[in-house]
Every structure is written in structure tokens, then in C-alpha cells.
């Protein structure tokens, strides 16, 4: 509730007199502290105009001294000087809240403000709302931990890079056979020469003067269904066919007539049955010798027999071999089918290609910078200009 008001006026004008009239007519009943600034003007000769537009007393009644006198006569609390104003405010407030004056302090609603969030957090009475949840690492302890394992322990136990991938991607340390298989994937996918889209983009971007991050990003962004991104899709469709007990011939027909897409992980532009991909051979050799079970890769090779009977380059390519082998790996690690499906859906299988190929893309970037190659412009004789071609 408002107990009193403070009014600050100035020389010139009649606003203060309107307040005086309102008090006389009982339109204002609560106490007012008033002061009209400009009392010093009486010490100057003539009419003095202050900085504020119109702040000038043209009549005696408009001077600060006369206004203060009139306000005091009307019952407004007027200090003897401007410096007394804060003391008068304190005095009036205390008198209005004093029971002996008839204005009980009970009329004042004292609100107990709640403690602010920072204080509550410091006193362990509240927890600040978080915007992120991290379950793989913690940098708030004495030393950083990966899945609750201190970094010094990781170094002391000689964890490999692929062991770290297991911790940070899947929250577990894989057995040696699985960890070494991931290492093999990274080695086999690290590079595939300068002609593929990822390396090409990286080199062109590097020649344009861009930095490492931009150049690598331009290469990584080409990864997709037609370049390295078929690992997830191959795992998805081969796993689906195996679980539904489709015969290899039926699976081939299903992909052609129902999904109406080429089988992900099947086919290569250069490699064929007569010119096999050494990377696939290395993968198969490792899986057959080290994996506890090889169910899906065997099924994929049965499908390959059907596809290569139609065309010799419709082989199980490196993406397909990695995809089906990863499913076999997670089966052997006792992952449930729904958990494997979630990994595939989230792109976790393609992530192995991304991390492997990034090594090569960095190599291509550094190669361009090392050679100090000029800005790239595609040869005109390699472009067919055909403006007359219909839309």
C-alpha cells in the first residue's frame, strides 16, 4: 500500500498549485513530501531560465520559494532545504509506521522473498536445471574420466585408440578380438585415393585457401548412400532379411520389386569376381578366424553368389562387408536386436567409416598444402556444355 508520495517541482508553471487545490478539495488525502527546486533563483537579478525548457518564473508565485511556501501552508511536508529531504522522508515514514500515530505496521504487507537460485544451489537446497546430460566422460573431477575410468589408468593399462572408441561410443571396453576388428576397419577405410568425392572435395577446398577444418568438412559432407554411407543401410537390410529367413534369391527380388533400390553393400564400379577387393578379403579373413559367430556375413556371401551370377561386379563391397560383420560382432557381444537396430538407425556403423576416412582426408589436405598447389579450376574439355538439352 502507498503510505505517502514525494513530489519534486521546479520554477515556473502552476502544476504544484493544482496539487494544492486537490488537497484542499480532499481529492488527495495521503501525505505528500514536496520540494520545488530552484530556490537559488531569488539570489539572481531578473528572470532566470534554467536548463529545462520553460523552467522560468515570470511571476512571483511561480518562484521556487513561493511554491514551497504555498505547499507548506497547504499541509504538504516541505523540508527547509534540499539536503534535508532524505531526513524528512525517513521521519515521515517512521511516523506513519508507528503504532502511536494510528498507522499500525500491521497495515504493511511484509513479503518473505524466496532465496535466489544461486543461494539455494550453494546451500544444497536446490539443483540448477541442466540443459545437457553426459554419460560418457567427466571433466569436473581431479582428472578427466572416460566412463568413470581416470585417464591415467587408461594410459597405464595401455588402452588403444579403438579401446577409447569402445568407451566413448558404446560405453564399454570391447574384448581384444572386437577392438582389433575396429582397428582393421579404420585401417581399411582410411583412404581410397584422390579421385573419390571426399578426397576430391578436400583437395579442391584446400586449393581455394581454406583451412584444415573447412577442407575436411567439405570432404566428410560427401559421405552418404553412394560414398561410404552404405554401411548402416547394408547392415539394416541384410539383418532384416536374415531375421525374416529370406532365401538369398528372395532377398534380391524383394530389394528390386519392393524396396526398389539397389542392395546397399553390393556392387563396385571397378572390382569384380575377377578383380576382387583386397579390403573385403582381409575383412572376411579376420571375421572367419577371430569372430565367435559369422552368421550374417555368411548370409551376405550367399546373396553375393546370386548377384554375381547376374553381373560379375555385383560383389559384396567393403561397405557391405563392414556392415554385416559389425552386426555379427554385436551379436557376439550379446547385444539385443533392438539395441543393434538403434545403433544402425543412429548412424553408429557409418561412424566407423567417418573416423577412418577422416584420417585420409587430413592426409590429402596436408598433401595439397605441402605441394603448395594453386587454385583448382576444372578443365573445360571435361565438361559437356549442352544448353539445348530439354528440361
**Residues assigned a catalytic role:** 52
Q: With helix as H, strand as E and coil as C, how does 119-161 read?
A: HHHHCCCCCCCCCCCCCCEECCCCCCEECCEEHHHHHHCCCCH
**Distance, C-alpha 334 to centroid of its chain:** 33
Cell of 164: 577409447
User: Smallest Cα–Cα separation from 67: which of 91, 89, 47, 42?
Assistant: 42
Alpha-carbon span 329 to 124, nearest angstrom: 45
Euclidean distance between CA atoms 324 and 302, whole angstroms: 12
Instruction: Show Cβ contacts of residue 25 under 8 Å, excluding neighbours closer than 6 positions.
Output: none
d(CA 303, CA 263): 10
Neighbours of 194 (CB within 10 A): 15
Give the separation between CA 362 and CA 43, rounded to whole angstroms: 84
Closest CA to 333 of 291, 289, 367: 291
- 26 backbone φψ class: left, alpha, beta (φ>0; ψ -120 to 50): left
Amino acid at each position: 500500500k502507498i503510505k505517502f508520495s514525494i513530489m519534486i517541482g521546479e520554477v515556473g508553471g502552476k502544476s504544484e498549485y493544482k496539487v494544492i487545490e486537490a488537497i484542499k478539495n480532499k481529492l488527495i488525502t495521503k501525505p505528500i513530501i514536496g520540494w520545488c527546486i530552484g530556490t537559488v533563483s531569488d539570489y539572481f537579478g531578473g528572470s532566470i531560465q534554467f536548463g529545462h525548457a520553460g523552467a522560468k518564473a515570470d511571476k512571483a508565485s511561480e518562484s521556487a520559494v513561493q511554491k514551497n511556501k504555498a505547499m507548506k501552508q497547504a499541509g504538504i511536508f516541505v523540508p527547509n532545504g534540499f539536503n534535508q529531504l532524505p531526513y524528512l522522508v525517513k521521519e515521515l515514514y517512521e511516523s506513519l509506521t508507528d503504532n502511536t500515530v494510528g498507522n499500525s505496521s500491521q497495515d504493511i504487507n511484509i513479503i518473505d522473498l524466496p532465496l535466489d537460485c544461486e543461494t539455494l544451489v550453494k546451500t544444497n537446497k536446490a539443483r540448477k536445471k541442466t540443459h545437457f546430460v553426459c554419460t560418457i566422460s567427466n571433466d569436473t573431477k581431479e582428472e578427466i574420466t572416460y566412463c568413470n575410468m581416470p585417464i591415467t589408468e587408461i594410459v597405464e593399462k595401455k588402452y588403444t585408440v579403438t579401446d577409447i572408441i569402445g568407451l566413448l561410443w558404446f560405453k564399454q571396453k570391447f574384448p581384444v578380438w572386437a577392438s582389433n576388428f575396429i582397428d582393421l576397419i579404420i585401417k581399411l577405410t582410411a583412404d581410397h585415393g584422390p579421385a573419390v568425392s571426399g578426397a576430391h572435395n578436400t583437395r579442391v577446398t584446400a586449393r581455394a585457401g581454406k583451412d584444415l577444418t573447412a577442407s575436411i568438412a567439405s570432404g566428410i559432407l560427401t559421405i552418404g548412400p553412394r560414398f561410404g554411407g552404405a554401411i548402416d543401410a547394408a547392415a539394416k537390410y541384410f539383418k532384416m532379411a536374415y531375421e525374416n529367413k529370406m532365401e538369398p534369391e528372395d532377398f534380391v527380388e524383394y530389394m528390386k520389386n519392393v524396396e526398389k533400390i539397389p542392395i546397399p553393400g553390393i556392387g563396385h564400379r571397378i572390382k569384380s569376381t575377377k578383380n576382387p577387393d583386397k579390403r573385403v578379403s582381409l575383412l572376411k579373413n579376420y571375421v572367419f578366424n577371430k569372430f565367435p559367430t559369422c552368421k550374417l556375413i555368411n548370409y551376405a556371401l550367399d546373396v553375393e553368389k546370386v548377384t554375381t551370377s547376374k553381373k560379375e561386379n555385383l560383389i559384396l563391397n567393403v561397405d557391405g562387408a563392414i556392415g554385416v560383420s559389425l552386426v555379427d560382432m554385436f551379436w557376439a557381444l550379446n547385444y539385443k536386436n533392438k539395441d543393434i537396430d538403434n545403433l544402425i538407425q543412429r548412424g553408429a556403423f557409418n561412424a566407423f567409416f567417418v573416423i577412418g576416412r577422416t584420417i585420409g582426408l587430413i592426409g590429402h589436405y596436408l598433401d595439397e598444402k605441402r605441394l603448395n598447389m594453386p587454385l583448382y579450376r576444372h578443365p573445360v574439355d571435361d565438361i559437356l556444355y549442352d544448353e539445348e538439352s530439354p528440361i
